[in-house]
Amino acid sequence: MNRSDNMHLKGFQYFYFLTVNVKALLLPMILLTSAKSSGQQIKVAPFSVNISPPIGAPVAYAPARKILDPLTASGIILQTPGDTFVLCAVDYIGIGNEGLDAWRLALADAAGTSFDKVNVHALHQHDGMRCDLTVERIMDEYGLGGTRFDVPYILRSIKKVSRAVKKSARRTIPVSHVGFGEAEVHKVASNRRILGDDGKVAIIRWSRVTDSAAIAAPEGVIDPWLKTVSFWQGNKPLAVLTYYATHPQSYYGHGDVTSEFIGIARRAREKKLNIPHIHFTGAAGNVAAGKYNDGSEEMRPILANRMEDGMLRAWEATERFAISAREIQYRHTKVALPVARHLDETDLRGKLASDTLSRIMKLSAAKH
């Protein structure tokens, strides 16, 4: 779009943190610290909903042809005497613009809280759904409505998750302790862009790699630590959140819907612990599994096992601390990123009107 002050204003993104005071872990969307309990109780309630799309619905790169394993929207409701917060992780490739607004407004209403205290996070699996009602509206102007987004399904899913949130909000459980743990994950994440001696990008290493030079290149600068935050009532665990930074792809692009190796690992841990397990993808713009993944079907369970092992060791390393509502703070900040200079509304709309460009290229134009 054309660069202007108004476009900068429209580019605001919000970063949200919950804080709980003394031992600090900075995690995507949630910052928890702990101190000696001061008596004001907090409560938590997990929720999880199957939101797998119907066969034929447009997933990231092709119509859904089979459901290999279910997609879910899972999260927690965290209550203090004066506030209610919702954290929700969704097995979608992305949720943006008016699509994100729709999710947050619906979950806020269901939980009886305000829009700004709801955080919805897309895990970015590449065989998950897209959800951007703004992009869909733009595409519809050019006769492309419904080609990349299944809006009725999206709205049904939001309603389904909202019902689960509303039900869980009535069944919150007192929390006495919060737990923190971490462990290194081995042979999963690596840098996507490998620099040469001149400091410029020499090799691009995507999520799946067969090129010997890319495989041999160093792992690069990553965050190898998988973090856990858990909620407890005495010695009883109530829910666990995990965070790890990598693009969560092994192989994809044919419409075989899956929550990928992170979802497989998450379900395995959930089954073994018999408590809700919610996973979040960390900052992974330049991080993927490429060094350790050749894109074969055999690699998905191998990567899942490595993730599960990291989750297990982080859980075993958990330290628990008494917690109360006085240790919880809520902070958010507005960030406006500059619009790229090469983006021009006339040019982008020209691409949308083109008779020769592919639908994926038109989707890219609408997104920008």
pLDDT tens-digit series, residues 113-131: 999 999 999 999 999 999 9
Q: Range of 229's domain?
A: 5-367
Longest dimension (CA), the chain: 66
Residue with tokens 């869980």, as numbered in its chain: 168
Return per-residue pLDDT of the chain as tens, 368 residues: 333 333 333 334 444 455 444 333 434 444 454 444 445 789 999 999 999 999 999 998 899 999 999 999 999 999 999 899 999 999 999 999 999 999 999 999 999 999 999 999 999 999 999 999 999 999 999 999 999 999 999 999 999 999 999 999 999 999 999 999 999 999 999 999 999 999 999 999 999 999 999 999 999 999 999 999 999 999 999 999 999 999 999 999 999 999 999 999 999 999 999 999 999 999 999 999 999 999 999 999 999 999 999 999 999 999 999 998 888 878 778 888 898 999 999 999 999 999 999 989 999 999 99
The tens digit of pLDDT for each residue in 229-251 reads: 999 999 999 999 999 999 999 99
Q: What is the pLDDT of residue 13?
A: 45
- The beta strands (E) that lie in 283-327 are given as 287-288, 319-322
Beta-strand relationship, 129-132 and 92-96: parallel
Supply φ then ψ for residue 274, to 5 degrees: 60, 40
Q: What is the pLDDT of residue 23?
A: 39
Q: What is the pLDDT of residue 24?
A: 39
Nearest to 121 by CA among 161, 83, 151: 161
Asked if 26 contacts 283 with a C-beta cutoff of 8 angstroms, the reply is no
Nearest to 133 by CA among 114, 110, 111, 151: 151
| DSSP-assigned letter for residue 40 | -
What CA–CA distance (Å, rounded) separates 220 from 218?
A: 5
What CA–CA distance (Å, rounded) separates 220 from 291?
A: 10
What CA–CA distance (Å, rounded) separates 253 from 257?
A: 9
Q: What is the pLDDT of residue 324?
A: 87
Q: What percent of the chain has pLDDT over 90?
A: 82
Domains in the chain, number: 1
What CA–CA distance (Å, rounded) separates 292 from 20?
A: 37
Full-prediction pTM beyond 0.75? Answer: yes
